[in-house]
Amino acid sequence: MKRKLSLDDIAKHFKVSKSTVSKALNDSHEISAKTKAKIIAYAREHKYRPNLNAINLRKEPSQSVGVIIPNILNYFFAQVISGVEKVLNDRGYNMIACISNESYKKEVAITEMLRKGAISGLLVSLAEETGKLDNTDHFEPFLNKGIPVVMFDRVSSKLDCDKVTIDDTKAAYNATEHLIKSGCKRIAVVSLLGDLEISKLRINGYHQCLKDHNIDLDQSLIFEKLEKSFMEVEIRKLLSAGKVDAILGLEEEAGVTSLLTANSLGIKIPEELSIICFTNGILPKYVVPSLTSISQHGYHMGQRAAQQLVNRIEQSDPEKPFETEVIKTTMIERDSTIPLIKA
């Protein structure tokens, strides 16, 4: 087995002290930006991870866990927080909940605040702006200090840590196939998720399903980067043109707005337009007609993410590989889609 890189190894490579390496990895202002960048880049390249057992012996134990979510108004994240809180409470940890409001700058500020405090671990779902910038460097100092990070739902492949997510590609594929099997051929995609990785994965699932069913891809039917303030206008234009017979909303607001806009135009649902959206929150149950949705089981995802984090905090094996747990989704069929006849 290849020997694990140590602080001594990094210090010898750069001909500096262990203290300098440690401060650089912890983003200390005492070390120049140029030196920090070189040391951090070398540590990443060689997959350096600190000795968690040694760190835990040196520091006072903390029973607090930071949680960063992008939007508290989203019912899915409210479910996640509830699941997280249940597990942390049962296992003796306090929760410090923070909201990034989809802002990269605010997410960075939150991580800086949490790093100055005493937390044992961090749970995070990325802000939309973070996904657009594709920059997760602000989470690296936690890992460099031996503080475990678990990402959930909105994750990044760039960050080497534990993750809990759904199979976004498969879920979108299954939803698209459901629409096709019910007779739909002109399926539009509507989304507010922008450049988030989950948006790309869901669109990939949609693409693949169309290809497998020999339906030509029409890029004019894909609205993947809508602004919230213009979403209803764009959907109204789309529906007024009579170009589509189905809509796949990549999150709840896109699905609900599509349904309400179709109602205002007198379009019959599901006879003339079928709609499916991700996230089985409160609104899909109570809009008229009720909205078929994909449940991501937010409460369960929150529980599993918290369990992974606490297990990582309390682990005795610092060499344990990182894991990605995939939560199975469920399609909740309601009145916005034509029921399939089961054989």
- Name the more confident of 19 and 284: 284
Q: Tell me: cis bond preceding 50? Omega within 30 of 0 counts.
A: no
- What is the per-residue pLDDT for 343? 52
More confident residue, 32 or 289: 289
In a domain, 336, yes or no: no
pLDDT at 32: 87
Determine, yes or no, domain membership for 221. Answer: yes
Residue 2's pLDDT is: 54
The share of the chain scoring above pLDDT 70, in percent, equals 94
184 and 280 fall within a common domain: yes
If asked whether residues 159 and 50 sit together in one domain, one would say no
Residues 280 and 201 both lie in one domain: yes
Give the CA distances from residue 308 to residues 79, 88, 144, 304, 312, in Å, rounded to whole numbers and listed in that order: 17, 11, 19, 6, 6
- For the chain, how many residues are written? 343
With 70 as the cut, is the pLDDT of residue 59 above it?
no
- In angstroms, the Cα distances linking 277 to 44, 187, 256, 280 are 38, 13, 8, 8
35 with 95, same domain: the answer is no
Q: Residue 337: inside a domain, yes or no?
A: no
**Confidence at 40, pLDDT banded by 50, 70, 90:** confident
Residue 311: what pLDDT? 94
Task: Judge residue 122's burial from the number of C-beta atoms within 10 Å of its C-beta, 0-12 exposed, 13-18 middle, 19 or more buried.
Answer: buried
Asked which of 100-104, 116-120, 303-307 is least confident by mean pLDDT, the reply is 116-120
- Report if residue 124 sits inside a domain: yes
In this predicted structure, the answer to whether residue 50 has a pLDDT above a threshold of 90 is: no
Whether 1 is in a domain gets the answer no
150 and 262 both lie in a single domain: no
Q: Are residues 303 and 292 in the same domain?
A: no
Half-sphere exposure of 66 (CA within 13 A, CB side): 26
Domain containing residue 53: CATH number: 1.10.260
Is there a single domain that holds both residue 140 and residue 281?
A: no
**What separation in angstroms does the CA of 322 have from each of 118, 148, 201?**
23, 10, 21
Predicted confidence (pLDDT) per residue in 149-195, tens digit: 999 999 999 999 999 999 999 999 999 999 999 999 999 999 999 88
Residue 118: predicted pLDDT = 82
Domain ranges, residue 52: 7-57
Tell me the sheet residues that pair with 121: 65
Q: Which helix (H) or strand (E) holds 263?
A: helix 252-264
- Please write the tens of the pLDDT for every residue from 71-98: 988 899 999 999 999 999 999 999 999 9
What DSSP character marks residue 327?
E
pLDDT band at 340 (very low <50, low <70, confident <90, very high): confident
Q: How confident is the model at residue 51 (pLDDT cuts 50, 70, 90)?
A: low
Query: Do 199 and 275 lie in a common domain?
Result: yes
Q: How many domains does the chain have?
A: 3
pLDDT at 151: 98
Question: So what's the pLDDT on residue 21?
Answer: 83
**For residue 174, what is the domain's CATH number?**
3.40.50.2300
Give residue-wise pLDDT tens across range 295-334. Answer: 999 999 999 999 999 999 988 676 789 999 999 999 999 9
The pLDDT value recorded for residue 3 is 63
Same domain? For 194 and 108 the reply is no
Q: Do the domain assignments include residue 206?
A: yes
Same structural domain, 216 and 180? yes
Model pLDDT, residue 62:
63
- Residue 340 domain flag: no
DSSP state of 295: E
Indicate if the pLDDT at residue 274 is higher than 60.
yes
Contacts (Cβ under 8 Å, ≥6 apart) of 4: 49, 319
Are residues 154 and 176 located together in one domain of the fold?
no
Q: Label residue 162 exposed, middle or buried (CB < 10 Å: 0-12, 13-18, 19+).
A: buried
Residues 274 and 182 in one domain: yes
DSSP secondary structure of 120-182 = SEEEE---HHHHHHT--GGGHHHHHTT--EEEESS--TTS-SEEEEE-HHHHHHHHHHHHHHT
Tokens at 252, concatenated: 């709840």
319 lies in a domain?
Answer: yes
Residue with tokens 């968690």: 52
